[in-house]
Structure 1
Amino acid sequence: RWNWVILLNCWLTITYNTLNTITRRSHSLSVEEQVLIALRFYASGTFYQVVGDNVGVDKSTVSNVAKAVSIALAIIDCTHVHIQAPHERDWEYINRKGRYRINIQLVGDADLIITNCVVKWPGSVYDARILRESALYRELQTNRPDGIILGDSAYPLLPWLMTPFLAATTPAQARFNTAHCKTRCAIQRLNGVLKRRFACLNYLRVEPQGACNIILACIVLHNIATRHNVPLCEVYDAPGPVEEPDQPLVFCRNEGLTGHVVRDAIVRNYF
């Protein structure tokens, strides 16, 4: 079972000044009650009506609470999240598999902490475009980081972003690909833990903007829970082999040349 107390204590100082008062017929809900209702929704992923029946409020109150808490959390701080068909411009949210999705860019570390995220793009947008239009891309292109980010072949090969060899031609390149794959399993596991911890992310029955707010709130909660060693309800199994993305391969001549130099140097010195 979740340690709700840890999460609640971490959030109360943040939310007191940002959550609006939401009424429950004869009296308003306290901040504690609002946060706990939102947490129940995030963790269960069930209908608003079911959550409301469990805590003694109507579904409209649960909807208002989830929206308010999500916005409050989103101002603090890529996997796909399944959503219902939007009422407007629904075609933009259909991914290559024909499903309505929000495409999320996540950057994580080996401890499964999410260090950067972009949560706003429809499912039809490719990972490479999301990266190129992000603040992270602009920052790292200008200020080279002391380290590198690993990405799959849907991303461009850059001096600070290493992708695997599409076809390893030497034993050293093969060893690089193997190490790259094993290390990149961390982001696959992070995606799995995030959706295991917050069942609502398996299918959000809200419009895209509301979905983005809920996703951001869950990301903030995930980091708090991870830093406080809050366990999952059940043991989470390690992910299977990392699969190549179902997206066009990225080729960029100018940036790719410099990226190739860096990747070749890594292979030569360490593999």
Structure 2
Amino acid sequence: MVVGAIDCTHVWLDGSPLKTTEYVYVNRKGWHSINVQFVTDANYNIINVSARWPGSVHDCRVLENSYVGQDFQRGELEGVLLGDSGYPQRSWLMTAFRNPQTHAERTYSRAHMRGRVVVEQTNGQIKKKFPCLRRGLRVKPKKACQIIIACTVLYRLSKDWKEPYLGRDHELPDVGVDDFDGPVNNEGYAARAQLVARCFT
């Protein structure tokens, strides 16, 4: 049922001209960024990207306003995405248990973690392949978003062409995200309970 894993990553705006909108680009760690949402498949291919939100915007809001989030919500896309605790539990978006109590819940959470880690690794891979995404972009936010999309397309082509990565590891600290603290979606929790009972008991 899983069609992809979803996560956001921050691309640093290093000296970008922000003028009066500067404050909306400040992320949780106190630096300016674009919050970029990736959906990846099991082979580290980016199958969807949303690069248009300032660093202060929560991952959940990015999802709710993205085409992929809206299409899943309307039932136009089938399958399940795997997300971290920054996302709400939905029938089409599975999150891990915060405190798994049973053997089935622990087994589900381990499987969820193994499936979702692919998107985190993909975030690292694209930033290593295109150093501008980890060292920072010194352009206006709109141009930065265009560069991020272009890098995503080139990254996907490099995967299709099986090009090796030959770079070095230099990462910005992870921004992280607050746990989702919005309204509870009982349908989402019921869908997760059904999945656990069907596949992990």
TM range (shorter): 0.7 to 0.9
Structure 2 residue 199 is the aligned partner of structure 1 residue 267: no
Letter of the 2:147 counterpart: I
Does the 8 Å contact 2:87/2:179 carry over to 1? no
Alignment of 1:1-271 (within 5 A): 78-85=8-15, 86-88=17-19, 89-143=21-75, 145-202=77-134, 203-234=136-167, 245-253=176-184, 256-271=185-200
Q: After TM superposition, what 4+ stretches of structure 1 lie above 4 angstroms from structure 2? A: none
Q: Percent identity?
A: 37
Deviations 1:218-247 (A, max 9, x none): 0000000001101101598xxxxxx99431
TM-score, normalised by the number of residues in structure 1: 0.65
Following the alignment from structure 2 to structure 1, what is the Cα–Cα distance between the partners of residues 76 and 105? 24
**Aligned CA-pair RMSD:** 1.8
Q: Which runs of 5+ in 2 are unaligned?
A: 1-7
- Once the two structures are TM-superposed, the CA of residue 265 in structure 1 deviates from its matched residue by 1.0
* Higher-helix-fraction structure: 1
Amino acid across the alignment from 1:95: N
Q: How far off its partner does 1:144 sit?
A: 5.3
SS of corresponding position for 1:209: helix
Letter in 1 for 2:104: A
Distance 2:163 2:113 in 1: 27
Contact 1:148 1:160 in 2 (8 A): yes
- If the length of structure 2 is used for normalisation, what is the TM-score? 0.87
Letter in 1 for 2:193: D
> Would you say the 8 A contact 1:145–1:160 is kept in 2?
no
The unaligned stretches of length 5 or more in structure 1 are 1-77, 237-242
- Alpha-carbon separation, structure 2, partners of 1:212 and 1:98: 20
Distance 1:160 1:145 in 2: 9
